[in-house]
Amino acid sequence: DTEVTQTPKHLVMGMTNKKSLKCEQHMGHRAMYWYKQKAKKPPELMFVYSYEKLSINESVPSRFSPECPNSSLLNLHLHALQPEDSALYLCASSQVWPTLAKNIQYFGAGTRLSVL
């Protein structure tokens, strides 16, 4: 099973709402990632969790709050977002560096977020 499952697929929220994005994998991967992708642009790394601990935060605004409850789950809590935060949010997982697989990442289908 090489699947990363993300819910919801689509989300529309107002600027005062609080919502959460969810990601799940059962490949035994101990590194999980959040990316943001705007239209016609490459994915941009937001956060990396390694062994359920936050290891990289790419200077993401505090209105995005990640959480890794266990080795299979990754959440992204959203609060007071801005319209410019509208994008495709991708979750990915991989083995932890260094391994022979060297950070091959498996992506979920993403959550398409619209902030009104």
Partner 1 sequence: GQQVMQIPQYQHVQEGEDFTTYCNSSTTLSNIQWYKQRPGGHPVFLIQLVKSGEVKKQKRLTFQFGEAKKNSSLHITATQTTDVGTYFCAWAAGNKLTFGGGTRVLVKP
Contact set with partner 1 (CB under 8 A) = 31, 33, 40-45, 48, 50, 55-56, 90, 94, 96-97, 102-110
Residue 39: C-alpha distances to residues 42, 48, 96, 110 (Å): 8, 22, 29, 13
Min dist. Cβ of residue 36 to partner 1 (A): 12
By beta-carbon proximity to partner 1, the closer residue of 35 and 64 is 35
**Closest CB to partner 1 among 18 and 26?**
26
Smallest separation (angstroms) from partner 1 to the CB of 103: 4
Gap between the Cα atoms of 31 and 28, Å rounded: 9
**Residues linked to residue 113 through DSSP beta bridges, in sequence order:** 11, 87
Closer to partner 1 at the Cβ: 25 or 94? 94
Rounded to an integer, what distance in angstroms lies between the CA atom of residue 65 and that of residue 109?
20
